[in-house]
């Protein structure tokens, strides 16, 4: 295979798909930057992470034995998206209720709860969700004093949490081509607690999806990969629950312009480190500068420059993991004249320097 073919084999749209860690503190610091410290940990219901699990993409935590017997596993499946599984037997339910009532309103990300077994009754204002009859619920920042839940001591409970930041939604859009669901946008902009909660449909598709989380691969890399695919599957189900219309993707962007913007995205993804200028890209797709820049932001949730930078960073990550090239050569492949600039941008994006990533491969 010639060198040109080898270059085109690099797919920057998926490069650096998942960052794996060999140091617990590095992963914890990155997760805390994306998902601030859980109020449950601060309140002492969940203990601090004690070990890496899976293939360096997750952490293991224990529950406070005075409150409950159980374990919590948190996987960082994609930037801005974590999947946590909590299975436990509650003891001191009154204290657990008090901690939850104070902690949940402080959660900054959108939270999707999928129920596997056991009964927990959630109250989001006037909206009540019973885990014994519902497959799950989505919520976003319920008002303080408007959230509570109840459970019985001694029963075994298992809940899987999908924590989604807006960055995480963009990751799903960029990587899998699944646009953000209008439902999630509506929840984030809801005026009241009731407007910011959505009980998942009582359908076979959501029930089977929730049940499937009980039957995940045990091995690290297989489990993490499956969880990423499950995130994509969940987004597809949410899209089906609240269909996306052509006009939604770009708001007021006409469909014909959305198609041209998709062409711009493809051009960026197929570039070889050097992204075309805005003027060049505008000419290539047949849209003026304003329609390109404003439309790209509306449709893809990121600026043209921001998206191009992300592609370069992912390409650099992949090359560090899979090629023998020196760091300065990788910097050049990613369009950087000065390796120091590449190193600064790379560490800002991934939380580790290129040399640290290279040494962990």
pLDDT range class, residue 106, cuts 50, 70, 90: confident
Task: Give the count of beta carbons closer than 10 Å to the beta carbon of residue 343.
Answer: 18
Arithmetic mean of pLDDT, 125-138? 94
Arithmetic mean of pLDDT, 125-152? 94
Arithmetic mean of pLDDT, 100-114? 90
347 three-state secondary structure: helix
Q: Which two tokens stand for residue 355?
A: 């040399």
Q: Answer yes or no: are the C-beta atoms of 342 and 354 closer than 8 Å.
A: yes
pLDDT range class, residue 330, cuts 50, 70, 90: very high
Q: What is residue 178's predicted lDDT score, i.e. its pLDDT?
A: 79
Q: Which two tokens stand for residue 89?
A: 């037997």
Q: Which two tokens stand for residue 236?
A: 């597809």
Over residues 18-46, the pLDDT tens digits come to 567 788 888 888 888 887 667 777 778 88
Range among 34-48, 67-81, 119-133, 179-193 rated most confident: 119-133
CA distances from 33 to 37, 38, 76, 81, 165 (A): 9, 12, 12, 12, 11
Identify the residue with better confidence: 185 or 211: 211
Q: What is residue 113's predicted lDDT score, i.e. its pLDDT?
A: 96
Distance from C-alpha of 85 to C-alpha of 96, rounded to nearest angstrom: 17
The pLDDT > 70 percentage for the chain reads 90
Q: Please name the residue ranges forming H helices in the chain.
A: 3-8, 24-34, 39-42, 93-103, 166-176, 182-188, 204-212, 220-241, 246-249, 255-270, 278-285, 289-300, 304-322, 327-333, 339-350, 354-359
Domain with CATH 1.10.10.60 in the chain: 247-359
Identify the residue with better confidence: 129 or 49: 129
Range among 24-28, 107-111, 246-250 rated most confident: 107-111
Over residues 307-316, the pLDDT tens digits come to 888 888 888 8
Q: What is residue 93's predicted lDDT score, i.e. its pLDDT?
A: 94
Phi-psi region of 356 (alpha: psi -120 to 50; beta: other; left: phi over 0): alpha
Q: What is residue 8's predicted lDDT score, i.e. its pLDDT?
A: 33
CA distances from 83 to 47, 56, 57, 74, 148 (A): 17, 14, 11, 6, 22
Q: Which two tokens stand for residue 255?
A: 């469909």
Arithmetic mean of pLDDT, 210-220? 86
pLDDT range class, residue 12, cuts 50, 70, 90: very low
- pLDDT averaged over every residue in the chain: 84
Identify the residue with better confidence: 318 or 110: 110
**Angle, alpha carbons 291-296-300 (nearest 5°):** 155
Q: Answer yes or no: are the C-beta atoms of 163 and 235 closer than 8 Å.
A: no
How crowded is the C-beta side of 77, counted as CA atoms within 13 Å? 28
Q: What is residue 94's predicted lDDT score, i.e. its pLDDT?
A: 94
Q: Which CATH superfamily groups domain 35-241? A: Jelly Rolls (2.60.120.10)
Range among 90-94, 234-238, 263-267 rated most confident: 90-94
Arithmetic mean of pLDDT, 243-250? 50
Residue 116 pLDDT > 90, yes or no?
yes
Q: What is residue 206's predicted lDDT score, i.e. its pLDDT?
A: 93
Q: Which residues fall within 8 angstroms of residue 58, CB to CB, at 6 or more apart?
A: 52, 73, 74, 75, 76, 220, 224
pLDDT range class, residue 134, cuts 50, 70, 90: very high
Domain with CATH 2.60.120.10 in the chain: 35-241
Residue 231's nearest CA partner among 248, 261, 252, 209 is: 209
Over residues 251-309, the pLDDT tens digits come to 577 778 888 888 898 888 887 667 889 999 999 999 999 999 998 888 777 889 988 88
The pLDDT > 90 percentage for the chain reads 40
pLDDT range class, residue 129, cuts 50, 70, 90: very high
Q: Looking at the domain that runs over 247-359, which CATH code has it been given?
A: 1.10.10.60
Over residues 60-84, the pLDDT tens digits come to 889 999 999 999 999 988 888 999 9
Residue 164 pLDDT > 50, yes or no?
yes
CA distances from 339 to 19, 31, 342 (A): 21, 27, 5
């Amino acid at each position: 295979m010639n060198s040109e073919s080898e270059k085109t084999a690099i797919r920057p749209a998926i490069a650096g798909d998942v960052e794996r860690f060999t140091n617990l503190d590095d992963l914890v610091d990155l997760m805390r930057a994306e998902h601030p410290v859980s109020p449950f940990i601060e309140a002492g219901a969940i203990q601090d992470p004690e070990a890496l699990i899976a293939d360096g993409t997750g952490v293991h935590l224990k529950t406070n034995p005075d409150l409950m017997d159980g374990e919590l596993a948190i996987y960082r499946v994609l930037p801005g998206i974590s999947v946590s599984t909590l299975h436990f037997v509650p003891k001191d339910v009154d204290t657990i209720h008090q901690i939850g009532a104070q902690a949940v309103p402080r959660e900054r990300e959108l939270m999707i709860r999928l129920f596997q077994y056991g009964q927990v009754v959630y109250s989001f204002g006037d909206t009540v969700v019973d885990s014994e009859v519902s497959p799950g619920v989505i919520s976003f920042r319920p008002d303080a004093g408007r959230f509570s839940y109840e459970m019985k001591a001694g029963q075994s409970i298992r809940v899987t949490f999908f924590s989604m930041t807006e960055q995480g939604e963009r990751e799903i859009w960029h990587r899998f081509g699944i646009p953000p669901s209008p439902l999630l946008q509506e929840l984030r902009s809801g005026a009241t607690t009731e407007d910011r909660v959505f009980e998942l449909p009582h359908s076979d598709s959501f029930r089977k999806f929730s049940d499937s989380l009980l039957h995940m691969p045990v091995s690290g890399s297989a489990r993490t990969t499956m969880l990423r695919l499950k995130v994509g599957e969940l987004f597809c189900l949410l899209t089906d629950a609240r269909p996306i219309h052509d006009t939604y993707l770009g708001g007021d962007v006409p469909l014909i312009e959305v198609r041209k913007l998709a062409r711009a995205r493809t051009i960026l993804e197929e570039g070889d480190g050097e992204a075309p200028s805005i003027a060049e890209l505008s000419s290539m797709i047949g849209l003026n500068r304003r329609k390109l820049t404003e439309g790209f932001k509306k449709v893809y949730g990121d600026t043209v420059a921001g998206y191009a930078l992300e592609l370069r960073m992912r390409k650099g990550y992949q090359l560090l993991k899979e090629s023998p090239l020196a760091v300065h050569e990788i910097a050049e492949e990613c369009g950087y004249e000065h390796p120091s600039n590449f190193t600064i941008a790379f560490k800002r994006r991934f939380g580790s320097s290129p040399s640290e990533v290279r040494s962990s491969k």
